[in-house]
Chain A
Amino acid sequence: MAEIRACRFLIADFTGNRQAVYYEAGFAEGLSIPVLWCCRGQDDDTKQLNFDTRQHEHIFWKDEADLASRLRDKIRRRGWSWVKP
């Protein structure tokens, strides 16, 4: 919990629908810490997610490289990257 409080953003991967992940994402949301939602699957495969969080914009990734590149794009687009372009 202390790590979540200190972090700038949280990456939550809901593959496997682990309850702890939902808890940590909800904890971060409650603290107004931005959450990047992701899950392994095809596009719009929201059925595997809990209905409470389906409305969030999820990154549905196919493989690890896809996940990393899309997360990197999102982080840079939001200005969270420490690397100067």
Chain B
Amino acid sequence: MTPEVQGYAGSTWAATCSTSPRSLTTAFACRSWFVARSSRSPPIRGGDAKARNGYNPRPWDCPRNAPSARSTITSTSTARSFGPRKTGSTERTAFLVRDVASTRLDVTSTKIGMAFLKRPRTSCCICLKLARHQTGSDALLVLTWENWKDFDHPPGRARGPEEYYDIVLQELASRCRYPGDSTPAFFACQAAAACELPTTVMLGISRQLEESNLWKIGNKDLLRYSVTPQRDAWERMANLTVRRDPSRRAFVAMWFDPSMRPAYDAIATMLQDEGYRPPFRVDAPPITTLCRKRRAKSMTGSWRRSALAAS
């Protein structure tokens, strides 16, 4: 695969994320420059190839050679204007990505961060809709639908277009403290990132929800977006948030070796301290005895002293 846009070796990548832990909000800043180049080989992910692979184009998909998108990408001053890191190297960047991934990102984002580490010269950003703002660190938020599909684990939260309405509804209404309250002003692009949607699509859905009288939009500014959910929205939220109680079980998969016994004991103690049941051990003696009994052709039981275990 030939990436259409490539961050060259030597460019510095920094990562950050929004405050929402489950959102896929890896943000990248490039100290040097991007170069958009035309593909030497025939496009693999072009529209025809997508159609052959069963890809359903989404409304927000832009044409492959959209001049506006390309001009956005080639703008070197765009990346520099957001306070990129003055000093740094690829190793430093790797540390940043790992550090952020291990402390703040969720599993999916971590995978993406590691993917960048493993393949620093591939894929990075096809910035059709470049959502960016200064997130409190020296980072440029780049969040596109296009580059998600390039990763091994695309989010794929919504099973159909209709679910996007519920996702946006839940994401924005969850920012209210009580019914009747307005959400505090937030960045629309961050909310879009939490919904795993491009900003324009999220705003369009929000507008449609307003037309459906589910909420009222207080401030339409991208940097101070605010909505006030109405009663119908809360009723819909109540229906959506019904879910199973989480389990108190945890499974420990590890080597059954005597040398690993202290590690297992430490994990078991930790789990019980955190309120979980003692983990189930496959090689525990009662289970082993039970397996032997199941394999036995006949059994002899003794009921002396009213031993209930023999039953």
Contact = CB atoms under 8 A, between A and B. Distances in A.
Contacts of A10: 250-253
B249 interface: yes
Interface stretch (B26-34, B235-243, B268-276): B268-276
A82 B114 contact: no
A24 B246 CA distance: 20
B269 A68 contact: yes
Given A15-B260, A67-B263, A83 B253 contact: no
A3 B251 CA distance: 7
Nearest to A71: B270
A10 B260 CA distance: 17
Nearest to B247: A8
A83 B102 contact: no
A68 B267 contact: yes
Contact of B114 (A4, A56, A75): A56
A84 to B, nearest CB: 9
B226 interface: no
Interface residues of A, number: 38
B253 A67 contact: no
Contacts of B265: 64
B219 to A, nearest CB: 30
Contacts, number: 106
Interface string A22-62: 00110010000010000010000000000000111100010
A20 to B, nearest CB: 7
A70 to B, nearest CB: 10
Interface string A6-19: 11111111011010
A48 to B, nearest CB: 13
A16 B260 CA distance: 10
A29 B304 CA distance: 49
B257 interface: yes
B107 interface: yes
B308 interface: no
Contact of A55 (B111, B254, B267): B111
29 contacts: A3-B251, A7-B250, A8-B246, A8-B276, A9-B250, A10-B250, A11-B250, A12-B254, A13-B253, A15-B254, A15-B260, A21-B253, A21-B255, A24-B253, A55-B111, A56-B107, A56-B114, A57-B101, A57-B107, A57-B114, A64-B262, A64-B266, A67-B266, A82-B248, A82-B274, A82-B275, A82-B276, A83-B273, A83-B275
Lowest 10 A-B CB distances belong to which pairs?
A: A82-B275, A64-B266, A13-B254, A24-B253, A16-B255, A7-B251, A68-B266, A68-B270, A55-B114, A8-B247
Interface of A: 3-4, 6-13, 15-16, 18, 20-21, 24-25, 28, 34, 40, 54-57, 61, 64-65, 67-68, 71-72, 75-76, 78, 80-83
Given A21-B254, A71-B270, A81-B274, 6 more contacts: A8-B276, A15-B263, A56-B107, A72-B270, A80-B246, A82-B275
